[in-house]
Amino acid sequence: MPKIQASEHPYVVYSTPDGGVGERRALRAIDYDGKPLERGELIPLPDGATLSMMPQRLAAGLDLQGERHALARSWGWALAALLPIGYTRVKLPGYTQTPDSEPLPFFGYAAVAGWRGRLYVAAVRTDDPERWLSRNFDLTQLETLVQQRLAAEPENRMLAHHAHCALDYHCPTASNLFFSRWEAACAVSGGCNARCVGCISKQEEEGLVSPQDRLTFTPSEQEIADAAVAHLDVADDAIFSFGQGCEGEPLLQFRLIERAIRAIRQRTQRGTININTNASNPHALSRLYAAGLDSLRASTISARRETYDAYYRPIGYTFEHVKQSLVLARDAGVYSSINLLCFPGLIDCEDEIAALVAFLRETGVRLVQLRNLNIDPEVLWPRVPKPSGRPLGMLALIDALRREAPDVIIGNFSRPVGRRKEGIEAC
């Protein structure tokens, strides 16, 4: 058998002390479980992806004998990629933790490798990333639009809040509120009835820092309706979405949202009114369906109760309520999707995949939005039960969904489904 040259395999790349990218062609690149990254799992690093150093994680790989080696600290740290919306991560990065390592910031780390002098990432394209790419969010133009809007509507606190999200976090949906296009954000709730392990707006545990500040006030019906109508009336493919990363659970404000939806629809019939939610309250959602909500996106990490409970740590509701909310949406003609929090090694196991397919059939969900879960693996794994089934891989998960639920769209973001006609009660 011919001697295998190391460079015939995807090889280790790492973050150098001066912030550059180094390569170690003698070492095969590996994933989080120490398995070699295969060519078929890798794509060239796409436009919009960013590279991320993994502090206190040494780059690691396999030599030709299959022995694992970690690069010394002096070489630098392990490297990962953060993907734009439109791409789904298929493998977590491999590394060797240093004894004094601290939790990593809440990002969606994807495995990277070198191949014939180019950078590759373990990912698959699952939707059109164009509208989410930073080149479509000119910051100078955005600053001007924000200033003009806030000057024109100085009383609207909701706009001021999302101006902060747009300019400081570069949040695409908050920015769209000022660009007057596509999907725009509307946060309404400072509280939540879940305590997600990976919550990006509130972390209670020592040493874990949420990347965003949570909303601290409740906007008025007028503030919401004014911003919504201004958006829905002019934006291309207009979506006005309640439920953002910078707030808690919007359903805790369902009466406010119900009044706002009715007020919005008295002023415009254009566009889509959507809610991103943990779908914990079927009664509250039924009121929003009756008021004219057009679509909803329910967040979940699993269709198995034990995994769901371990991650969401729900307060006063169960996964059965989430299912019931989606079934009621189907019956009311509300376009439903799930925001499936994707973590390779967890949701791509046999038992998780089987449960997910059954869940999609039972609830009539129309779209699965694959979301790379933003969390340090060392934070998540100790807090969720290890799945009992064999890990089949993210590519196998996506294939299974396409095969077993062919009517369900697989993508990464909400669709402008337009104004619902059926099942709306007059106020």
CB of 204 to ligand SF4, least distance (A): 10
Name the site residues for ligand SF4 (rule: CB under 6 A).
Answer: 192, 194-196, 199, 201-202, 248-249, 278
CB of 114 to ligand SF4, least distance (A): 35
Half-sphere exposure of 98 (CA within 13 A, CB side): 17
Closest to ligand SF4 by CB, 14 or 107: 107
β-pair type (109-110, 11-15): unpaired
CB of 251 to ligand SF4, least distance (A): 10
CB of 288 to ligand SF4, least distance (A): 17
SS3 content of the chain, % helix, strand, coil (to 5): 35, 25, 45
The span from the CA of 391 to the CA of 352, in Å, is 9
Closest to ligand SF4 by CB, 366 or 371: 371
The span from the CA of 424 to the CA of 232, in Å, is 19
Tokens 């011919």 locate to: 2
Half-sphere exposure of 315 (CA within 13 A, CB side): 9
The span from the CA of 6 to the CA of 61, in Å, is 11
β-pair type (367-372, 87-89): unpaired
Closest to ligand SF4 by CB, 48 or 248: 248
CB of 76 to ligand SF4, least distance (A): 33
The span from the CA of 14 to the CA of 29, in Å, is 10
Closest to ligand SF4 by CB, 190 or 389: 190
CB of 189 to ligand SF4, least distance (A): 8
Identify residue 396 by its one-letter amino acid code. A
Tally of residues, the chain: 427
CB of 198 to ligand SF4, least distance (A): 7
Alpha helical stretches, state H, 292-349: 305-312, 319-332
The span from the CA of 294 to the CA of 328, in Å, is 13
Closest to ligand SF4 by CB, 111 or 246: 246
Strand partners, 410: 368
CB of 253 to ligand SF4, least distance (A): 13
Closest to ligand SF4 by CB, 30 or 192: 192
Closest to ligand SF4 by CB, 15 or 374: 374
The span from the CA of 222 to the CA of 228, in Å, is 10
CB of 220 to ligand SF4, least distance (A): 21
Closest to ligand SF4 by CB, 199 or 257: 199
The alpha carbon of 52 is separated from its chain's Cα centroid by a whole number of angstroms, namely: 17
Closest to ligand SF4 by CB, 43 or 194: 194
Those residues whose C-beta lies under 8 Å from the C-beta of residue 29, and which sit 6 or more positions away, are 9, 10, 11, 12, 13, 36, 37, 61, 94, 111, 112, 113, 114
